[in-house]
Structure 1
Amino acid sequence: MGWSPTISMVLILSGCAVGPDFVQPKAKVQDQWIEGNDPRVMATNEVMSHWWRAFDDPVLDRLVQIASEQNLPVQIAGLRIMEARAQLGVAIGYQYPQTQEGFGTAQQNLLSSQFANQENLRHSYANFNLGFDAAWELDFWGRFRRNVEAASAHMLATEADYDDALVSLTAEVARTYTAMRTFEVYIRIARENARVQGEGLEIARSRFRNGATSELDVDQARTLLESTLADIPRFQSSLQQTKNALSALLGKPPGGVDSLLYGPQQIPVASTQVAIGIPAELLRRRPDIRAAELNAAAESARIGVSKADLYPRFFLFGEVGVQSSDMANFFAPHSLFFTAGPGFRWSILNYGRIANDVRAQDARLQRAIVTYQDTVIRAAREAEDALVGFLKAQDSTRSSQRSVDAAQGSVDLALIRYREGSDSFQRVIDSQRVLLQAQNKLADARASVATYLVALYKALGGGWEVREGKPIIPAAMQEEMARRTNWGTLIPVRSPQTTDKIHLPTPAGSAPILRQPNW
């Protein structure tokens, strides 16, 4: 045909793509950690991926495993990946003929008897037609390829969001588990102190009955004992609340976690040393930083989508079919009709709408870049805060332990001296109160060590590796969705590629004009 060279030229020139290619944003990262010279801090590239195993607690290991498989917010993040993969398929599909429609009508027409008189006019006639039409807007300015680039970046960002959900989940399970064990320790401390205080009360009663002291000692002993007993229900309430929180993290109703909580009721303990790598590794390990960069890449590609509207759109169109007013001649040789050819559309008088849309998209890109830089700074701050908290909590634990040892000796001595009549009961009361406070403070310090270590590994981006070799949504859910909808090759669901590096989508200018569609 005469316009074939034109089509060939359009396809050749379709390699260009308007809009910017994404450039990785700059972010300020310190060279070393503030506490990096502490001997307990090991600068190594091998940051523990399954860091919760450092606590050597089988119960915690099991809780993390179940949570990674059953947590509902993580499953929601996995479903967002499936949605993004399907949306990428939609974007790729737009690179092919956008309109492909079969059509057909069967009409019986009756003209009005008042219609203008014409010779041999048929006032009643039929019209039958059957055909196919198509229209293909060529990707001359890279609009569709930029859209594919944006959809690819968005899909990769949802995968990073999924990893970030796993990082947050593993940290929250470990933190909540630590809080639960801490409340169990509080209850044990309170009960033990109540036992000791009860013995003191019996001594005060005995001395009162023997006339060796006043009833004031008995009242003071009872006051301290009841005050200690009053703390136990409060701790029990908090304990049950943390168990309920654990149940929710595991995707279970309240009470669903009780059968998993075996073993000693003690606060998780880990090594005093920690391996943290170097600050720059946050840029490749933390999923939220990867997601922020990929979101910026998507916004960059969308500038090209918006800019393409400033230029004319070239397209090919065609229609072919058969048409007749007599069904008997519907497929006769002379019933064939067709139209075909190239065309273009160009929105000229748009009153600045397109230009301002490009400007708005550019602002979105800049906002995404600043968000990325802010995410990097917050990540560094979280790591520094957790590291100094972990180290100083260890120092506090050692002092608190010495305080408990001294307070225990003070209580024993005060009871002996009171029994012998050498000291007043007020000394016993004061020493027992100080012991209870010191023991609770020690429990707080030990819990802080574990909690800060959890926060540190979360800040370093550890924990997303737990998904390796596992589907992003449960198999039963995949089967349910497959029964409801034809998901093609998207089910069974592929897990995201295991990596701690950012893989950006291919820029539109370097991408093939047509990508293989996903049917």
Structure 2
Amino acid sequence: MMTSLPASRTPPLLRAVAATLLLAGLVSGCSMAPAYQRPAAPVPDTFPATPPAAGAAAPAASAPSTQAPLAAADTAWRTFFPDGRLQQIIATALDNNRDLRIAALRIEEARGAYRIQRADRLPALNASLAGSRSRTPGFANAGGQSQVGERYDAGLAIPAFELDFFGRVKSLSDAALSSYLATEEARQAAHISLVAEVAKAYYTERALAEQQALAERTYEARKRTFELTRQRVEGGASSRLDLRSNEQQMETARAAALSLARQRAQASNALNLLAGQPVQPADGAAPLADSVADTVATLSAGLPSDLLAKRPDIRAAELRLKAANANIGAARAAFFPRITLTTAIGSASREFSGLFDSGNDTWSFTPQLVLPIFDAGRNLANLDVSHARKNIAVADYERTIQQAFREVADALAAKTYLGEQVAAQRAVQDAQAERLRLLQLRFENGVASSLDVLDAQRELFSAEQALVQARLLRTTSAIDLYRALGGGLK
């Protein structure tokens, strides 16, 4: 309802409205959300110790290092991965990967949602200008004549501003802020995972290229042996059994080369997908470098509690827990009265030219208090839902910590054993190569059969392939440890 007042009484009204808004600002700091307490980490205080492998060489005594061990979170990915081509691919992926782009866009979405929720804590101020014309028929007037009336209004209004005495709006704003920050942490976790996945895909493709080159060289060597054996069969110097055995070995190597070529092409496709655009194929098939495995030896795992600060996925889970905790405060506040304030000041006139003349001032002041009496259990159900969601968030937070603990423990176990495994597999390869050399000498002297030589060739080929696979496993495990400790963000 608009009521006209003399101009001299408008300033006291403005002061009353200002005082009301100031009081609302002072009491809006209240909150009915439970005091937040971080749940205890459901993991041991230390990572499990890995017993020494059977037959492993005892570590040599060395002078204590004066340099503190590096933490993965402090080691930039460009330092951890010195390969220039890999650095280029990771940088391309960080710019073009669609999953990471979606994660960044979700941050923008969460930031907008938080700003919308935060805006409810301050009053909105609207300016309005309106005009109307209406006709009243004659039977509605005492004089029996129809009349045409005009009215013009202009003013400022604060529509339905909630005085947050019980912290409902503040709790919703706090929940939106925590959700926004959790989304930012989730993007950082996606960043780390992308760096690790690109590196693993890159080294997988390189290992397959090395294995393919080994298979192709083996095939060419066996093909030459097969041709020589066929000539010997035609000359009566060898049997058809030797020919078929050599043919079987040759075709086995050919099938392995084709299988590895297919796997390498698929690995290249996976790398292209992660990078977000085609990656220039690498030249040659150089052996896997040991730089990554050497760098991971300098990393310090620290204590499980360090993961709470280093891992963005754990920080994101805790922020989601804080958001759920804040939503309980909003659900509790819904049981209490909700007070809203609508107020407006302006001017009204029957003629537009006199809209702002003295004496045409108007104002309205409409406080409203709504007390829930019966809602068929809606508010209680909302509170139960809020508590259930908080319990879910607690379980999710604890599961995230346990998963992080397991990832680090697995990577530490791999770090302990895979170096010795690579050394053992290299010894197997060397032994098989020497065995083949000796059998070839015995065959040339007529002591060993050609089947013994073929068997040694097959086992040497298997040992060479297994060594490449072991070295790849050591490299990818080193990358897993780097990622599990929170590295790869810089």
Alpha-carbon distance in structure 2 between the residues aligned to 1:9 and 1:337: 24
Question: Matches of 1:202 and 1:97 in 2, distance apart?
Answer: 91
What's the secondary structure of 1:179's corresponding residue? Answer: helix
Q: Aligned with 1:30: secondary structure?
A: coil
**1:155, CA displacement in angstroms?**
1.9
Which of 12, 32, 52 aligns to 1:18? It is: 32
Deviates more, 1:444-453 or 1:390-399: 390-399
Structure 1 segment 91-240 matched on structure 2, within 5 A: 91-98=117-124, 100-112=125-137, 115-116=139-140, 118-119=142-143, 122-135=146-159, 136-240=161-265
Residues 389, 382 of structure 1: alpha-carbon distance in 2 compared, 3 angstrom cutoff: same
- Equivalent-residue separation in structure 1 for 2:436 and 2:20 (angstroms): 99
TM-score by length of 1: 0.81
Q: CA deviation at 1:35?
A: 3.2
Query: Aligned pair 1:257/2:279, yes or no?
Result: yes
Q: CA deviation at 1:54?
A: 4.1
CA contact (8 A) 1:31 1:279 kept: yes
Specify whether residues 340 and 16 from structure 1 end up closer, same or farther in structure 2 by C-alpha distance, changes over 3 A only: same
Aligned in 2, Cα 1:33/1:65: closer, same or farther, shift over 3 Å? same
Between the two proteins, the alignment pairs up a number of residues equal to 458
The one-letter amino acid paired with 2:92 is I
- Of 283, 288, 301, which aligns to 1:267? 288
Distance in 2 separating the partners of 1:452 and 1:460 = 12
Is the counterpart of residue 285 in structure 1 residue 291 in structure 2? no
Residues 355 and 148 of structure 1, relative CA distance in 2, 3 Å threshold:
same
Distance in 2, Cα, partners of 1:278 & 1:44: 14
Q: Is the 8 A contact 1:146 1:301 kept in 2?
A: yes
Change (3 A) 1:162 1:13: closer
Matches within 5 A, 1:350-429: 350-429=375-454
The aligned runs of 1:476-491 (5 Å cut-off) are none
Q: Deviations for 1:63-113, whole angstroms, at most 9, x for unmatched residues?
A: 223322332322222222233233332222111114x33333333323456
Cα distance change of structure 1 residues 51 and 317 upon mapping to structure 2, 3 Å threshold: closer
* Residue aligning to 1:311: 336
Task: Indicate how the Cα distance of structure 1 residues 328 and 461 shifts in structure 2: closer, same or farther if over 3 A, else same.
Answer: closer
Cα deviations across residues 172-224 of structure 1 (Å, max 9, x unaligned)?
Answer: 01110111011111111102211332233234224323322212211221121
Q: Residues 132 and 151 of structure 2 are in contact (CA less than 8 Å); yes or no, is this contact kept in structure 1?
A: yes
- Contact 1:44/1:277 (8 A) holds in 2: no
Deviation at 1:12, TM superposition (A): 4.3
Deviation at 1:459, TM superposition (A): 1.4
CA contact (8 A) 1:52 1:60 kept: no
| Cα distance in 1, alignment partners of residues 463 and 430 from structure 2 | 9
Query: Taking structure 1 as reference, are residues 347 and 101 closer, same or farther at Cα in structure 2, changes over 3 Å only?
Result: farther
Distance of aligned partners of 1:49 and 1:36 in 2 relative to their CA distance in 1, 3 Å threshold? farther
Q: Once structures 1 and 2 are overlaid, which stretch shifts more, 178-187 or 228-237? A: 228-237
CA shift in 2, pair 1:111/1:397, >3 Å:
same
Q: Which has the larger radius of gyration?
A: 2
Task: Give the drift of 1:295.
Answer: 0.7
Q: Which residue of 2 aligns with 1:497?
A: none
Name the aligned partner's letter for residue 43 of structure 2: V
Q: Is the 8 Å Cα contact of residues 137 and 146 (structure 2) preserved in structure 1? A: no
Aligned-residue offset at 1:8: 6.2
Mapped partners of 2:145, 2:415: distance in 1: 96
Report the CA distance shift for 1:313/1:354 in structure 2 as closer, same or farther (over 3 A): same
Shift of 1:116: 4.8
Give the 3 Å change call, closer, same or farther, for CA 326–53 of structure 1 in structure 2: closer
Q: Do the aligned partners of 2:104 and 2:187 also contact (CA within 8 Å) in 1?
A: yes
Separation in structure 2 between the aligned mates of residue 45 and residue 21 of structure 1, nearest angstrom: 36
Partner Cα separation in structure 2 for residue 247 and residue 307 of structure 1: 51
Q: 1:6 to 1:85 in 2, by over 3 A?
A: closer
Q: Name the SS for the 2:334 alignment partner.
A: helix
Distance 1:106 1:218, change over 3 A: same
Distance, in Å, in 1 between the alignment partners of 2:258 and 2:450 is 27
1:368: how far off?
A: 0.4
1:342 aligns to what SS in structure 2?
strand
Segments of structure 2 that go 5 or more residues without pairing to the other structure are: 1-11, 53-57, 60-64
Amino acid at match of 1:127: R
Letter in 1 for 2:106: R
Alignment of 1:398-477 (within 5 A): 398-464=423-489, 466=490
Shift in CA distance, 197/410, structure 1 to aligned 2, threshold 3 Å: farther
Kindly state the Cα deviation for residue 307 of structure 1 after the two structures are TM-superposed: 1.7
2:94 is aligned to 68
Matches of 1:412 and 1:10 in 2, distance apart?
91
Kindly, what percent of the aligned residue pairs are identical? 29
- 2:98/2:276 contact within 8 Å kept: yes
TM-score by length of 2: 0.85
> Gaps spanning 5+ residues in structure 1: where?
467-519
Whether contact under 8 Å (1:81, 1:155) holds in the other structure is: yes
TM-align CA RMSD: 2.7
Q: Which moved more, 1:285-294 or 1:451-460?
A: 451-460
Distance 2:373 2:452 in 1: 92
Pairing of 1:77-92 with structure 2 (within 5 A): 77-92=103-118
Q: CA deviation at 1:14?
A: 3.7
Determine if contact 2:45/2:305 at 8 Å carries over to the other structure. yes
Contact 1:315–1:343 under 8 Å retained in 2: yes
CA deviation after TM superposition for structure 1 residue 303, in Å: 1.3
Could you tell me how far apart the structure 2 residues matched to 1:408 and 1:79 are? 56
Offset from partner CA, 1:361-383 (integer Å, 9 cap, x none) = 11111110110001101111111
CA distance in 2, matches of 1:26, 1:241: 44
Q: In 1, are the aligned partners of 2:29 and 2:170 still within 8 Å (CA)?
A: no
C-alpha displacement at 1:328, in angstroms?
4.6
How many Å apart are 1:447 and its aligned residue? Answer: 0.8
Q: Distance in 2 between matches of 1:145 and 1:131?
A: 29
In the alignment, the residues of structure 2 paired with residue 348 and residue 121 of structure 1 have an alpha-carbon distance, to the nearest angstrom, of 51
Post-superposition shift, 1:357? 0.5
